Structure 1
Amino acid sequence: MASACCIMHLPATVATCANGSMLEHAYIGRRQLVAAALAALVCKPTLAQTPLRLLCSGPPGSIPDTVARQTARALEAQHAGDVVVDNRAGAAGRIAVQALRVAAADGQTLLLAQGAVASIYPVLYPKLAYNATTDLQPVSLAGEMLLGLAVGPAVPDTVRSVSALLDWLRENPAKANAGSPGAGTLPHLLQAMLFREAGVDWQHVAYAGGPPALVALLAGQITVLALPEGLLLQPHAAGRLRVLATSGAQRSASLPGVATLREQGLDRLVLREWFAFFAPGATPRATVSARAEALQHALSQPALVQAFALAGMQARGSTPAFLAQRIADEQSTWAPFLRASGIRAE
C-alpha cells in the first residue's frame, strides 16, 4: 500500500504532506535543502510488505505461466513477502481480467496477460465484461515472442510449407480446422488472416490456453495450430509436429531452418506476441510506478533473461507510459482489420 503522497510548495520554506504534517525550518540554505529531502523521502510511496499476487491468464505450463513464475522468482529478491502466481485460465484471458477487476487497488495484485486483453478484445468482443481503459492500468511490458504455425499427425508428412498446407486443406475441407489458445488471441487472429487471404473456409477451435491446444494437435484432434513458438520447440525437434512457418520479420533464432510467413509470400503476416503486467484501474499512479520499476529490474536479471530465451521469448520491461502507447498503437492497427473482416467473438 502506498504511503501518503507528498506535495512540495514553493517558496521552499515549508514541505507539506497529504496527512497535514509540516516540516518547518528557520534557515535558508543547507537546512532548507535537508528538510525538503527528508520530506520527499518520508512521503515516497512504499509497497506493503505482504504477499504480491500475480494473476496469470494461462494454465500451468503455458507461456504466460512461464513468464509469471520466472518473474515471481526475480521479484522475490526485492520483496519482503512471497510472490504468489494465481493461474486464472480460460475465456482467452478474460477470467483473469475479471479477477483483477475485483481485486483491491493497492498494488498487491497484478495481472500478467497477453496484450490482446487491452488492445484487441475491446474491438473483437461486442459484449466485453470489463472496460479496458478504466479497469486495466498498464504497468510494464513483460516479454515478446514469435508465433509458429504448426501441423500434427492429421496432416500428411509431404506437407512442408504453408502453400502446400493451403492446397491440402482445399482438397480436404472436412479437415480445415485450426486451434488456438482462445478466441481473440493473436494466434487465432494470425490464422484468421491467413485463411481469409487464402480463401479457405475453416473452423476455429478455441482452447483454455496453449498446452491443451497442443495436446489436441499431437493427438490428431485438430489439423493446424498457431502458438508462441516456445511451446512448439520440443515437439518439433522430436518430430511430433512440424512448424511450417514463424511470424517474424526475420527467421527465428530458435528455428533457423523454418521460413517465415513473409518469406512464403504472406507479407502482411508479420506479428509478435507480447505479454504485459496490469494493475487494477484505481491503483494510485505512484504505486504503479513503483511496481513498474521493480518489474523492470526483475526482467533485466541474467537468470530470467536466459530462462525466457530458452522458452523462445525476449524479456522486456517498460514504463507504464510506454505500455499505454503500445496498446494504443495496436488498437489503431487491429481495429480496421477486425471491422473490415467481420471477425467477432462472443
Structure 2
Amino acid sequence: MTHSTAAFHRRALLRLGALALLPTGLAAAMAQEAPAGAAPRLKLATITTGFATGGSADVTARLLADHMRGRHAETVIVDNRVGASGRLAVEHVKSAPPDGSSLLVSPSGMMVLFPHIYRNLRYDPMKDVVPVTPLARFPFVLAISERVPADVRTLAQFIAWCKANPKEASFGSPGAGTSAHFSGILLGRLAGMDFTHAAYRGMAPLVQDLMGGQIAAGVLTPADALPLMSSGRLRLIATTGTQRFRFLPAVPTYAESGFPDIVIEESYSLYAPAGVPAEMVASLAQSTHQMLALPQTQARFAQMGLEVAPQSPARFRADLQALHTRWGEIVRTSGFTPTD
C-alpha cells in the first residue's frame, strides 16, 4: 500500500452523526420558547422529515412531536415531504421563518455527504440550518445471501469468495451516493477486489432481492436486518460501527475483521432554520435530551435498532463540520461522479 493510499484510508475513518430538523412553520406565534414548566408561546410547530410514514425516521420525528407538544408549542405535527432522497424536506425547512415553528429530523448524510455528490444542491448545510442535537444513531450491516455458499461465514471468507468469483462479487444499497453505498466502495478498495454496486430504490426492494438470492450481498440498516436474523436466509458478517452494535452482539465490526478504516455511523438528528435564537436552540436540545433519557423512548428506539445519541449543539456542529470534510475526501478518492 502506498503512503498516499494509506493516508487516505486513515482519513476515511468515519463516524456519521445525524441529520434532523424539527417543526416547519405552518403558523407561529412568538419567537421565543417558554421556560420549562411554562405554557408554550408557539401555537403550532411542524417537524418535517423527508421520508415516508412508518419508517424509522418518521417514527423518530413522531416521538419527538409527542414530547414537544405542550412544551415547545401547543400543537406539534409531523410533515412527511417525501422526494429527492430527503432533500425536499431540507429545502422546505431552510426557507421557513427562524422562530422555532419549523424544525427538521433527517439523516446526517444529507448534511455531510450530499454536498459532495450533488452538483446543484439547493441548500448549504453549514449555513442554512442550525444543528440542535442528534437523536439516534446506527451503523450499517453487511449481509450475504444464499447466493453465496453456506460455508462462507466471515468477512475474510466472503472476500476470498468474491475474488474467486468476480462476476458474482456484487452488493446492493438503498441508492447511489448513500452512506451505505460508500461503505461498499471502501470495502472493495481496501480489500483489493472488484465489488460491483447495484443501486436500489430504497431498502425494501434490496431486502427482497437478498432474501431471494438475486444478489450476493447488501448493506442494510439494523432496522432492516434485525427482523431477518431468524429466517436463516441471510448471514450478517460485519457492521460499520466503532464497536459491536448492542442489538447485534454476535456480528463483528469491520475493524475487528481487519478493516479499521471502515467506520460509518449514520444518525437521525434535529435541525432548525438558520437564524433561530441561540437560547431557543439550547432549550430545544435540553428538552430533546430529556426525551432521550426516558426508558420508553430508549425501548422504542431499540425496537427499530437505534441507540440514543444526545450531544450539545456546539459538539454536534463541530462533528458535522469534521464529517463534511472527511466525506469530501472519500468521495473524491472513490472516483464517484457527482450528479445533478
| Whole-Å separation in 2 of the counterparts to 1:244 and 1:121 | 28
Cα deviations by residue, 1:27-64 (Å, 9 ceiling, x for unpaired): xxxxxxxxxxxxx98xx9964121x3222233344332
SS in 2 for 1:232: helix
Corresponding residue to 1:48 among 42, 60, 69? 42
Q: Shift in Å at residue 314 of structure 1?
A: 1.5
Match of 2:187 in 1: 194
Letter in 1 for 2:42: A
Structure 1: how far apart are the matches of 2:199 and 2:75? 34
1:137 alignment partner AA: V
Q: 1:68 matched to which residue of 2?
A: 61
> 2:41·2:73 contact (CA, 8 Å) conserved in 1?
no
1:84 matches 2:40: no
Query: What is the alpha-carbon root mean square deviation over aligned residues?
Result: 2.8
Match of 2:152 in 1: 159
Superposition deviation, residue 233 in structure 1:
0.9
Residue 114 of structure 1 pairs with residue 107 of structure 2: yes
- Contact conserved, 1:126 with 1:344, CA < 8 A, in 2? no
Instruction: Choose 1 or 2 for highest CA Rg.
Output: 1
Alpha-carbon distance in 1 for matches of 2:77, 2:222:
26
Q: 1:314-329 to 2 correspondence within 5 Å?
A: 314-329=307-322
Supply the distance in 1 between the matched residues of 2:58 and 2:201 (Cα, whole angstroms): 13
Spell out, residue by residue over 1:87-131, the C-alpha distance to the aligned partner (whole angstroms, 9 max, x if none). Answer: 334443323222323434332222111112112222333332221
2:251 aligned with 1:261, yes or no? no
Runs of 5+ unmatched residues, structure 2: 1-27
Work out the CA distance in 1 between the residues paired with 2:153 and 2:228: 16
1:1-346 alignment runs, 5 A limit:
1=28, 3=30, 47-50=41-44, 52-76=45-69, 78=71, 81-346=74-339
The 1:299–1:145 alpha-carbon spacing in structure 2 relative to 1, beyond 3 Å, is same
Work out the percentage of aligned pairs sharing the same amino acid.
32
Shift of 1:140: 1.4
Deviations 1:246-288 (A, max 9, x none): 1233322222222221121112112322221112224343433
Q: How far has the Cα of 1:295 moved from its partner?
A: 1.8
State TM-score, norm by structure 1: 0.78
Pick closer, same or farther for the CA change 1:3–1:55 going to 2, 3 Å: closer
Contact kept? 2:184, 2:195, Cα under 8 Å: no
Q: Which runs of 5+ in 1 are unaligned?
A: 6-39
Cα separation, partners in 2 of 1:302 and 1:163, compared to 1, 3 Å? same
Q: Measure the CA separation in 1 of the matches of 2:197 and 2:100.
A: 37
Q: What CA deviation, in whole Å up to 9, does each residue of 1:211-262 have, x standing for no partner?
A: 4432343233433221222321110122232211112333222222222211
**Is the 8 Å Cα contact of residues 3 and 45 (structure 1) preserved in structure 2?**
no
Structure 2 residue matching 1:173: 3-state secondary structure: coil
Q: How many residues align?
A: 309
Match of 1:14 in 2: none
